[in-house]
A and B are shown apart, each in its own frame.
Chain A
Amino acid sequence: SHTAPVQSNTPAAADNLVGYKDPQRFLGDAAAALGPGAQDMVAVHMLRLYEKYSRRSPRPGAGNTVRSFRPTLEVINQKAVYFFNLTSMQDSEMILTATFHFYSEPRWPQAHEVPCKQRAKNTSCRLLPPGPPSRQHLLFRSLSQNTATQGLLRGAMALAPPPRGLWQAKDISSMVKAARRDGELLLSAQLDSGEKDHGVPRPSPHAPYILIYANDLAISEPNSVAVTLQRYDPFQAGDPDPGTAPNSSTDPRVRRATQATGPLQDNELPGLDERPAHASHTQHYHKQELWPSPFRALKPRAGRKDRRKKGQDLFVASSQMLHFDEKTMQKARRK
Chain B
Amino acid sequence: QWDEPRVCSRRYLKVDFADIGWNEWIISPKSFDAYYCAGACEFPMPKIVRPSNHATIQSIVRAVGIVPGIPEPCCVPDKMNSLGVLFLDENRNVVLKVYPNMSVETCACR
In chain A between 115 and 174, which residues have their CB closer than 8 angstroms to a CB of chain B?
none
Check if B61 is an interface residue, CB within 8 A of chain A. no
Taken residue by residue from 81 to 110, chain B's Cβ proximity to chain A (1 for < 8 Å, 0 otherwise) reads as: 110111111111111111110100000000
CA distance A242 to B100 in the complex (A): 28
B: interface residue count bin = 20 to 34
Q: Is the interface of A mostly helix, strand, loop or mixed?
A: mixed
Closest 3 CB pairs of A and B: A46-B94, A53-B84, A66-B96
CA distance A132 to B100 in the complex (A): 53
Known pairs A43-B94, A65-B96; A229 contacts B25 (CB<8 A): yes
Minimum CB–CB distance from B26 to chain A (whole Å) comes to: 7
The one of B89, B96, B99 in contact with A88, judged by C-beta atoms closer than 8 angstroms, is B89
Known pairs A232-B21, A234-B20; A38 contacts B98 (CB<8 A): no
CA distance A43 to B27 in the complex (A): 10
In the complex, the answer to whether A64 meets B98 with C-beta atoms within 8 Å is yes
Interfacial residues, chain B to chain A (CB-CB below 8 A): 20-22, 24-30, 81-82, 84-100, 102
Minimum CB–CB distance from A239 to chain B (whole Å) comes to: 8
In the complex, the answer to whether A85 meets B25 with C-beta atoms within 8 Å is no
In the complex, the answer to whether A58 meets B98 with C-beta atoms within 8 Å is yes
Q: Which residues of A contact B29 (CB under 8 A)?
A: 54
In chain A between 14 and 37, which residues have their CB closer than 8 angstroms to a CB of chain B?
30, 33-34
Q: Quick one: which of B30, B91, B96 has the most chain A CB within 10 A?
A: B96
Check if A220 is an interface residue, CB within 8 A of chain B. yes
